[in-house]
A and B are shown apart, each in its own frame.
Chain A
Amino acid sequence: QSALTQPASVSGSPGQSITISCTGTSSDVGGFDYVSWFQQHPGKAPKLMIYEVAKWPSGVSNRFSGSKSGNTASLTISGLQADDEADYYCTSFTTSSTWVFGGGTKLTVL
């Protein structure tokens, strides 16, 4: 159950778009369309932003979008805003009927 691989950090300017990748294996990301993405601000509980690769929970902006190709999932944030600055985590269901998270990506809005 190795953690999914995410870049440690990404950055972008307000109004720009950024993409965060999440790489796993055929036993997790590549094997199921059950990838979720979470946003976490300092000292707060994580917030679900995307589930089942590309679906939005109620109340989440469509500036956030998800996709997947093979063993890599991606989260794209368009029209960057200052409040988007946070840590982002992916997670996937696995063939062991468990879940595995990525190591997290710190997004800096310049």
Chain B
Amino acid sequence: EVQLVESGGGVVQPGGSLRLSCGVSGFTLSSYWMHWVRQGPGRGLVWLSRIYDSTTYADAVKGRFTISRDNAKNTVYLQLSSLTVEDTAVYYCVRGDPGYGVFQLWGQGTLVTVSS
């Protein structure tokens, strides 16, 4: 079955770090652009980062978040650091199909709560 499964969310204190994982199955990870998108409680979607042969980041997270992938483990990662309460959100892993913005496959999301 083609799917994305995120994990690694939880409660973290301000200033802390967390690593999110996105396990992929049913397709070859190395053939696709992979993205992370988040959604704060009651708020809209925010694009964060993309990886393929290179990486790009939204200005809001550049320097604090790092995207990476391990094709052998079929996993994409998002390292979060210097977290603030504004980073509290559901984090989604998304596959980018051929084209730009063809975000057809989404994971179920993992909740990150930044709180003291």
Identify the A interface with B (CB < 8 A): 1, 3, 32, 34-36, 38, 40, 45-48, 51-52, 57, 89, 91-93, 96-104
Given known A-B contacts A1-B59, A101-B45, A36 and B92 have beta carbons under 8 A apart:
no
B60 to A, closest residue via Cβ: A1
Binding site for A on B (CB under 8 A): 35, 37, 44-47, 50, 56-60, 92, 99-104, 106-109
CB-nearest residue of chain B to A105: B44
Tell which of B35, B45, B46, B102 has the most Cβ of chain A within 10 Å.
B45
Min CB–CB distance A68 → chain B (angstroms): 13
Q: Which residues of B contact A1 (CB under 8 A)?
A: 58-60
Residues of B within 8 A of A36 (CB): 101-103
Closest B residue to A87 by beta carbon equals: B44
Known: A38-B45, A89-B44, A103-B44. A48 touches B92 (CB 8 A): no
- Would B47 and A91 count as touching, CB distance under 8 A? yes
Chain A: which residue is nearest B35 at the CB level? A99
B100 and A52 form a contact (CB under 8 A): yes
Q: Is the CB of B103 within 8 A of A89?
A: no
Q: How far is the CB of A99 from chain B (nearest CB, A)?
A: 4
**A98 with B57: CB separation less than 8 A:** yes
In the complex, are the beta carbons of B101 and A34 less than 8 A apart? Answer: yes
CB neighbours (8 Å) of B108 from chain A are: 45
A34 and B47 contacting across the interface, CB-CB below 8 Å: no
Q: Is the CB of B101 within 8 A of A51?
A: yes
Complex: how many Å from CA A91 to CA B48? 13
How far in angstroms is the closest Cβ of chain A from B108?
6
Given contacts A52-B102, A100-B47, 14 further A-B contacts (CB under 8 A): A3-B46, A34-B100, A36-B103, A45-B107, A48-B102, A51-B101, A51-B102, A57-B102, A89-B44, A91-B45, A92-B101, A99-B35, A101-B37, A104-B45
Contacts of B35 in A (CB 8 A): 99
- CB-based contact B56/A98 at 8 Å: yes
